Chain A
């Protein structure tokens, strides 16, 4: 199977991806409904992997259900909960179930989530995971054994454009690309100027950039994000806007829509994180669709 995400990006088409969080529980009805409602609006749906270190249904199961429904997922896989054997067998499973896009991540630390007493794995890091996916794509596993059936993925990695010291981050981004990453999905970004700087800094890597946009639902959420979500920084002016708005959610959509427009010149696509309000995504992206 061929990744339509890859085809579109390779053809220079601007793409929109959206994050939909799989359920805590085995009922995927709402997850599939939310995802289906985005059909025609977004090109791919990112299925998060125990996001924020909170235990949820396997992203592989959720991604496979999307494939069955004719929706192309980006299967997010982190190193936090699986050793190298589990990562590889999960990836083989994903390929067998028709998953074609993978976002390879280190994963939030276990202490952030709802199972803080669990053993963090981190047998591999994201660069080693990307190399592992490349190895699998060459028809062999990490131990060098040949595979019966070779998985071919369009592989992405995360990038944090606002992380400082940036030169240090850049070393790692370069490694991610040489280990096989073909696109970056960035952390949510609120400062378009930072996006421009980031694009220029990674232009030599010849990698597609999908910029992250987070829907801020209230000033309280913006403050929470600043205090608790690593790598994100909402400027005071945006918090002020949300604070003084009669309807924070309407204002939040307006801010996201504005960011979409401002970020567009500096990226190859946008990744919308609506945090449960996925029905607002069409409104957020209407000017770039």
Chain B
């Protein structure tokens, strides 16, 4: 899931300074789970904007804002309310915002900061475990990603900052390599740690990423 959080309201308000009439867009997928842009947050935003003297012309929670065709179709369904507005405030990830900006000529304001691809530990608690590196090494690292879990992305073992299996950047976090080592010990595969891992091929994730599935 794409983890996002709302920008501070005063920042949103500043971005809407010259726009009085606002149309609100949320997303029923990730932003709903993250409580940053679901039905509830759209409603709260409407209240906040109203008390700040803005007029909300309407709102929509798109089923999957990153789906460009769907976003365009849903916005067309609210054509008049969109037309009446001075700006669209989008409470969706950066992908969702761009589906909206591609579908409308109106000024688009991003209400969220998009953070990472996250796992859900429990509702309201998200953790990054994968950094979308384009070349998965989890089979070789006992199912724990050092590219992501190690703040330095080290591929050949812990740095000198590991202390009692803890990470130098966060005493509460277990060193990625300590986790990998413990898992390999229980799986009897510690010998994997002897192999020098070569430098990563970053050409696998040149931006902007594109994938077209050929039939």
Contacts and interface: CB of A to CB of B under 8 A. Distances in A.
Interface of A: 79-80, 84, 106-109, 111-112, 120, 122-128, 131-132, 142, 158-160, 163-165, 167-169, 171-172, 174-175, 178-179, 187, 230-231, 233
Contact of A164 (B163, B193, B194): B163
B53 interface: no
Contacts of B202: 123
Given A131-B198, A169-B162, 15 more contacts: A112-B169, A123-B199, A125-B152, A126-B156, A128-B155, A164-B164, A165-B165, A168-B158, A168-B193, A169-B158, A172-B157, A172-B158, A230-B160, A230-B161, A231-B168
Which 9 A/B pairs are nearest by Cβ-Cβ distance?
A230-B161, A172-B157, A230-B168, A127-B156, A160-B160, A171-B193, A125-B154, A168-B181, A122-B152
**A124, A126, A158, A171: most-surrounded residue (chain B CB, <10 A):** A171
Contacts of B177: 168
Interface string B184-208: 0000000001101111101000000
B159 interface: yes
B104 interface: no
Contacts of B152: 79-80, 106-107, 109, 120, 122, 125
A174 B194 contact: yes
A231 B175 CA distance: 13
A161 to B, nearest CB: 10
B160 A175 contact: no
A106 to B, nearest CB: 5
A122 B146 CA distance: 12
B193 A163 contact: no
Contacts of A187: 160
Contacts of B160: 106, 158-160, 163, 187, 230-231
Contacts of A123: 199-200, 202
Given A168-B178, A231-B163, A175 B157 contact: yes
Contact of A231 (B156, B161, B194, B199): B161
15 contacts: A79-B152, A106-B154, A106-B160, A125-B152, A126-B156, A127-B157, A128-B155, A128-B199, A160-B162, A163-B163, A164-B163, A168-B177, A175-B157, A231-B160, A231-B163
Nearest to A160: B160
Nearest to B196: A175
How many B residues are at the interface, by size bracket? Answer: 20 to 34
B169 A109 contact: yes
Interface of B is mostly: loop
Nearest to A162: B163
Interface string B138-167: 000000000000011111111111111100
B148 to A, nearest CB: 12
A132 B198 CA distance: 10
B188 to A, nearest CB: 15
Contacts of B154: 106, 122, 125
Contact of B157 (A79, A122, A158, A171): A171
Given A164-B163, A165-B165, A231-B163, A178 B196 contact: yes
A165 B178 contact: yes
B156 A172 contact: yes
Contacts of A167: 181
B161 A169 contact: no
Given A131-B196, A230-B160, A231-B160, A125 B165 contact: no
A163 B196 contact: no
A127 B161 contact: no
A124 B201 CA distance: 11
Contact of A125 (B155, B178, B194): B155
Nearest to A127: B156
A125 B156 contact: yes
Contacts of A125: 152-156
B116 to A, nearest CB: 15
Contact of A163 (B151, B155, B162, B197): B162
B139 to A, nearest CB: 19
A159 B158 CA distance: 11
Contacts of B159: 106, 126
A44 B197 CA distance: 32
A107 B154 CA distance: 11
Contacts of B198: 128, 131
Contacts of A175: 156-157, 194, 196
Contacts of B169: 109, 111-112
B80 to A, nearest CB: 44
A267 B175 CA distance: 29
Contacts of A164: 162-165
